[in-house]
């Protein structure tokens, strides 16, 4: 299970970096107005609005992977071995050893009584 936790952590870091990079690459909502009046590169690689669609969908995929990895890491981190308790009935009771009766001690100030 440790290899699965390591894999989830690596995927989480990669997806977090991907989300950060893709959010920084996207244009804001006000950038479309500048492209409409000719001051902007509307003839980009993806077309006028194709890059926004591609980048937003890819960001959503990376965000989904990030949240799934977070839930998986949390689930694996909370799974612990639980030992049975005293009240479960699986532990054998402890019995005190029986010892021989002990003769009472005599008071040293009293003389011994002959038998």
Residue 71, pLDDT > 90, answer yes
What is the per-residue pLDDT for 64? 96
Better-predicted residue by pLDDT, 14 or 104: 14
Residue 5, domain member (yes or no): yes
Number of domains in the chain: 1
HSE-CB for 101 with a 13 A CA cutoff: 2
Count of positions (residues) in the chain:
115
User: Which pLDDT value is given to residue 92?
Assistant: 60
Range of the domain at 55: 1-24+50-79
pLDDT of 76 > 80? The answer is yes
Is 40 inside a domain boundary?
no
pLDDT band for 69, please (50, 70, 90 cuts): very high
Residue 15 lies inside a defined structural domain of this protein? yes
Average pLDDT in the 62-86 region? 88
113 domain-assigned: no
Closest CA to 5 of 74, 83, 82, 104: 74
Q: Are 7 and 61 in contact (CB under 8 A)?
A: no
Query: In the numeric block, which tokens belong to residue 82?
Result: 């639980």
Residue 80 has pLDDT above 60, yes or no: yes
């Amino acid at each position: 299970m440790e290899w699965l936790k390591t894999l989830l952590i690596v995927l989480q870091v990669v997806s977090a970096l991907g989300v950060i990079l893709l959010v920084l690459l996207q244009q804001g909502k006000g950038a479309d107005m500048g492209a409409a009046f000719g001051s902007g590169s509307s003839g980009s690689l993806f077309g006028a609005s194709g890059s926004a669609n591609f980048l937003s969908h890819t960001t959503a995929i990376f965000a989904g992977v990030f949240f799934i990895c977070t839930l998986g890491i949390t689930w694996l981190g909370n799974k612990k071995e639980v030992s049975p308790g005293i009240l479960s009935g699986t532990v054998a009771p402890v019995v005190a050893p029986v010892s021989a009766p002990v003769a009472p001690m005599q008071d040293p100030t009293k003389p011994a009584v002959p038998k």
